Amino acid sequence: MICRALTGESLQAGARELASRDPDLARILQRVGYPPIWGRRPGFASLVRIILEQQVSLRSADAMYRRLDARLGGVTPHAFARAGIAGLRQLGVTRQKAAYLHGLATRLVDGTLDLSAVSKAADETGRRTLLDIPGLGPWSVDIYYLMALRRPDIWPRGDLALATALRDLKGLRALPSHEQQLEFATKWAPWRSVAARILWALYLSERRRVVD
């Protein structure tokens, strides 16, 4: 039986099962070892990070997150709601992301969004709730479910690093389309989140090799 949230133990069990089914994943596991679980704490701060990471490098997003944390006295819904869109813009957040972050914060402050209830709801119900929030598209919600809620069977749609790693894993001539990615990922159910972590580990390994 697969646990609802991945742990280090269940991640390794899932990785072993995937390796037994897919020789390419087995080869990567032998080379890079078990991937990290890369967990994030569920809640507002994780969603802030995910919104900041949209269409920018992780390094840039992390720098902005740290600036907001320091200047606002913490990454909390009340701090972001008080700052307002103008206040977030003054700290360097783009107009669109400032609106997204402020809208998310106000929903949590006024109680129209309950992230604890989202985490306890069926995945389909919780995902619909988050997708109704401006700024949280399919990729953002997938990443939240995979990283923060640590669901075992999530494939993040539109993730460029995964597309790149999948191309390398399967020896494809070009980056796989969304449909091609889903075709591969379907074969890895019910451990698609584990497969994604293995491919992220491959991607990072390849990047380090090129840099070195």
- The pLDDT score that the predictor gives to residue 207 is 77
Residues 171 and 51: their CA atoms lie apart, in Å, by 32
- Asked whether residue 4 carries a pLDDT value surpassing 90, the answer given is no
CA angle 184, 185, 188 (to 5 degrees): 105
- The pLDDT score that the predictor gives to residue 58 is 87
Question: What is the band of 167 on the pLDDT scale with cuts at 50, 70, 90?
Answer: very high
Helices (H) and strands (E) in the chain, counts: 12, 0
- Asked whether residue 2 carries a pLDDT value surpassing 60, the answer given is no
The two structure tokens encoding residue 78 = 């009340």
The two structure tokens encoding residue 128 = 């619909």
Task: Check residue 177 and report its DSSP letter.
Answer: P
The two structure tokens encoding residue 178 = 């969304």
Residues 36 and 33: their CA atoms lie apart, in Å, by 9
The two structure tokens encoding residue 171 = 């020896």
- Residue 194's nearest CA partner among 13, 3, 1, 33 is 13
Percent of the chain residues past pLDDT 90, beyond the cut = 88
Query: Are 194 and 18 within 8 A, CB to CB?
Result: yes
What is the three-class DSSP state of 34? coil
Q: What is the pLDDT of residues 33-79, one digit of tens each?
A: 999 998 899 999 999 999 999 988 889 999 999 999 999 999 999 99
Ordered structural domains, the chain, with CATH: 8-37+154-211 (1.10.1670.40), 44-148 (1.10.340.30)
Residues 64 and 71: their CA atoms lie apart, in Å, by 10
In total, the chain counts a number of residues equal to 212
- The pLDDT score that the predictor gives to residue 209 is 54
Residues 104 and 107: their CA atoms lie apart, in Å, by 5
In this structure, of 1-5, 112-116, 125-129, 171-175, the range with the lowest mean pLDDT score is 1-5
Query: Are 195 and 18 within 8 A, CB to CB?
Result: yes
